[in-house]
Copies of this chain bind each other. A is one copy, B any other.
Amino acid sequence: MVVDTSLRRTLHERGMRMTPQRQLVLDAVRELQHATPERICEHVQRLAPAVNITTVYRTLDLLEGLELVRHTHLGHGAPSYSTHAHEHVHLVCHRCGEVTEIPPEELTDLTERLRERFGFMLDPSHLALSGRCAEHGDAAAEANGL
């Protein structure tokens, strides 16, 4: 992969330092996809047991600022981090929590529309849409009664 050297460069361009921890955290996010800070930390600690969860949090913030990673809240609880390269859209059922992945091309029309009308650049590469899966669609509508 060409990106191997780009973390160092990206950091240096902004006067920041390259460290083993930063590379390890980025690698872990790339490898795991949709991992919580805690899972990322555990993964990093297999190679470098001394790395502290504090560093993972700080590094994730940093990488997010560099737009190398992104986080979303798929459900309750901890956020889930992924790289931009991991492109897809999530359909999350708020009844059963089931998550379906669909290709981002499904949102092409919407992306166009939002850009034209609101100047908003939708990032369809990593998105969670909430609603109800096929199984829970009707029950919910009924219970709702609105």
Contact = CB atoms under 8 A, between A and B. Distances in A.
Nearest to A13: B143
Contacts of A73: 72-73, 79
A140 interface: yes
A67 interface: yes
A2 to B, nearest CB: 11
Contacts of A140: 67, 121
Interface residues of A, number: 44
Given A106-B117, A120-B134, A137-B119, A127 B129 contact: yes
Interface in A114-130: 114, 117-123, 126-127, 129-130
A146 B126 CA distance: 15
A121 to B, nearest CB: 4
B113 A133 contact: no
Interface in A93-115: 93-94, 100, 102, 106-107, 109-110, 113-114
A54 interface: no
